[in-house]
Amino acid sequence: MKRARHHLVNRSINSCDEALLGLICAPLQAARTGNSVATSVPTKLPSGKNSTAEKLLVAASELMIERSSIEISLSDIAQKSGANAALVKYHFGNKDGLLLALLERDAGTELSNLEYLLAQPITPTAKLKLHIGGIIRAYHRFPYMNRLIHYLLHETNAGSADEVSKFFVAPLLDFHRRLLAEGVSSGEFRQTDPVLFYTSLIGACDHLFFGRHAMSRATGVGPVTDEVCRQYIKHMETLICGGILTNVEEAAAAG
Question: Any idea what the CATH number is for the domain that residue 196 is in?
Answer: 1.10.357.10
Residues 6+ apart with CB under 8 A from 131: 22, 23, 24, 117, 179
**25 within a domain of the structure (yes/no):** no
The whole model's pTM is what?
0.69
pLDDT in tens, 70-108: 899 999 999 999 988 888 889 998 899 999 999 988 877
Q: Give residue 188's Cα distance to chain centre.
A: 26
Q: How far apart are CA 1 and CA 205, in angstroms?
A: 33
Neighbours of 206 (CB within 10 A): 17
Same domain for 219 and 121: yes
Residue ranges, the chain, pLDDT below 70: 1-50, 109, 209-224, 248-255
Q: Last residue of some domain: 75, 93, 111?
A: 93
State which residues form the domain around 201.
95-248
Give 165's DSSP letter. I
Dist CA 132 CA 148 (whole Å): 20
Quick one: 103 and 219 in the same domain? yes
Same domain assignment for residues 88 and 102: no
Pick from 124, 227, 240: nearest CA to 181: 124
Query: What is the per-residue pLDDT for 121?
Result: 95
Q: What's the rounded Cα separation, in Å, for the pair 37 and 129?
A: 12
